[in-house]
């Protein structure tokens, strides 16, 4: 039997946590023969910690054969201890009237501390995936604190945007969504993201030819994907949680599956015209479990370049708000 892997999850008692932990424990993230130990981290307050105890009781009550242990803690140095995967879901939400710069700084404090602790106590093969918003910049902040773990270990999630874009293209073309391939997300997980339709294929043909509606691709398609989060809040009265948890399952599952081609936000190193120091969504191919190479072969036309420039500018601005903290 395989040794269990240790999976730390912050914000474990939140909405996404509630939709995520059961999928991890059932084997959806690491496979049906990979035991896991869940190391659940919550904010040090009575309410979230009580809720966490309830979630842990429900995990017990599922009798998942792969679940070999549950740690509940508000101490990050306990929660991240020897973790092979650190899933950073918890973040401070934007309060009423709060400025974007204040949100960035408040989250900056959280991710500076978590980055330091992960670097100090997590396993040598630790990988970090950031979901808590602003995800790209939070990821950049956590990575900036690491000396042992290299920047490539830190990724942020744009997979929900990729999945949304895939479904929109399939619905427009009237085909099964498995026919849609190579739709990737560039840039920030925010409405400025760019889902590059120019390289997508539908049934093996160029998606733009199959859909044959440039105005739709450059307008409503980008807008629908970019503003999908807000549309869900408007409809549901709460932000997307199950689909976000599902996207994190996909993000990690693809990262542990050699040959998988998918979008993640990584340190750009200047690829695709991004500032070298920002974390930007781009296409990658998983090489060995947890490792990947950026796919650099896609040519960008002027429309794509202008979209990438806009999302890059937002990432550079976000970085400048927190630069003095790093």
Annotated catalytic sites, by residue? 189
Is 14 near ligand NAI (CB under 6 A)?
yes
Cα–Cα distance for residue pair 287/7, rounded to 1 Å:
21
- CB burial of 28-59 (b: ≥16 within 10 Å; e: otherwise) equals bbbeeeebbbbbbbbbeeeebbebbeebbeeb
Using rule CB under 6 A, residue 260 touches ligand NAI: no
Assess 131 for contact with ligand NAI (CB under 6 A): yes
Per rule CB under 6 A, is residue 15 in the interface with ligand NAI? Answer: yes
Q: Rule CB under 6 A: is residue 91 a binding residue for ligand NAI?
A: yes
Is 160 a binding residue for ligand NAI by CB under 6 A? The answer is: yes
Complex with ligand NAI: residue 35 or 226, whichever CB lies closer: 226
Q: Taking CB under 6 A as the rule, does residue 89 contact ligand NAI?
A: yes
Give the range of 11-19, 55-63, 167-175, 204-212 binding ligand NAI by CB under 6 A.
Answer: 11-19
- How many binding residues for ligand NAI (CB under 6 A)? 28
112 binds ligand NAI (CB under 6 A): no
Return the residue of 6, 35, 42, 103 that touches ligand NAI, per CB under 6 A. 42
For ligand NAI, the closer CB: 56 or 244 = 244
Q: Is 41 in the site for ligand NAI (CB under 6 A)?
A: yes
Residue from 7, 8, 9, 13 touching ligand NAI (CB under 6 A): that is 13
Nearer to ligand NAI, 56 or 211 (CB): 56
Would you say the C-alpha torsion 182, 188, 189, 192 has a positive or negative sign? negative
> Is 108 one of the binding residues for ligand NAI (CB under 6 A)?
no
Asked if 73 touches ligand NAI (CB under 6 A), the answer is no
Burial 267-304 (b: 16+ CB within 10 A, else e): bbeeebebeebbbbbbbbebeeebebebbeeeebeeeb
Question: Cβ closer to ligand NAI: 161 or 211?
Answer: 161
Contact 234, 151 (CB under 8 A): no
Phi and psi torsions of 81, nearest 5°: -55, 120
Q: Which is nearer to ligand NAI, 114 or 210 (CB)?
A: 114
Contact 36, 67 (CB under 8 A): yes
Nearest distance from C-beta of residue 262 to ligand NAI, angstroms = 14
Check binding of 266 to ligand NAI (CB under 6 A).
no
Give whichever of 132 and 195 is closer to ligand NAI, judged by the CB atom.
132
Binding site for ligand NAI (CB under 6 A): 10-11, 13-17, 41-43, 48, 89-93, 110, 131-133, 135, 157, 160, 189, 239-241, 244
């Amino acid at each position: 039997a395989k040794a269990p892997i240790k999976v730390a999850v912050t914000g474990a008692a939140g909405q996404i946590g509630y939709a995520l932990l059961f999928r991890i424990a059932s084997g959806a993230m690491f496979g049906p023969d990979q035991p896991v130990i869940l190391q659940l981290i919550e904010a040090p307050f009575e309410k979230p910690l009580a809720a966490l105890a309830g979630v842990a009781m429900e995990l017990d009550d599922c009798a998942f054969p792969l679940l070999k242990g549950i740690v509940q803690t508000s101490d990050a140095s306990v929660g991240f201890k020897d973790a092979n995967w650190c899933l950073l879901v918890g973040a401070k939400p934007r309060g009423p009237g709060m400025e974007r710069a204040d949100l960035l700084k408040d989250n900056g404090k959280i991710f500076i501390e978590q980055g330091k602790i992960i670097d100090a106590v997590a396993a040598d093969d630790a990988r970090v995936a950031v979901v808590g918003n602003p995800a790209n910049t939070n990821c950049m902040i956590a990575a900036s604190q690491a000396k042992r773990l290299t920047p490539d270990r830190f990724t942020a999630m744009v997979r929900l945007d990729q999945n949304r874009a895939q479904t929109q293209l399939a619905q427009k073309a009237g085909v099964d969504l498995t026919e849609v391939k190579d739709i990737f997300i560039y840039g920030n997980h925010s409405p400025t993201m760019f889902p590059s339709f120019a390289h997508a294929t539908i049934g093996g043909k160029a998606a733009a030819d199959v859909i044959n509606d440039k105005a739709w691709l450059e307008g409503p398609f980008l807008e629908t994907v970019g503003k999908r989060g807000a549309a869900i809040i408007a409809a549901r009265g709460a932000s997307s949680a199950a689909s976000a948890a599902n996207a994190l399952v996909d993000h990690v599952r693809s990262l542990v599956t050699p040959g998988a081609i998918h979008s993640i936000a990584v340190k750009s190193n200047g690829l695709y015209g991004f500032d070298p120091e920002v974390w930007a969504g781009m296409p990658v191919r998983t090489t060995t479990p947890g490792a990947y190479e950026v796919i650099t072969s896609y040519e960008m036309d002027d429309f794509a370049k202008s979209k990438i420039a806009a999302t890059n500018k937002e990432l550079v601005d976000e970085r400048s708000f927190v630069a003095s903290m790093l």
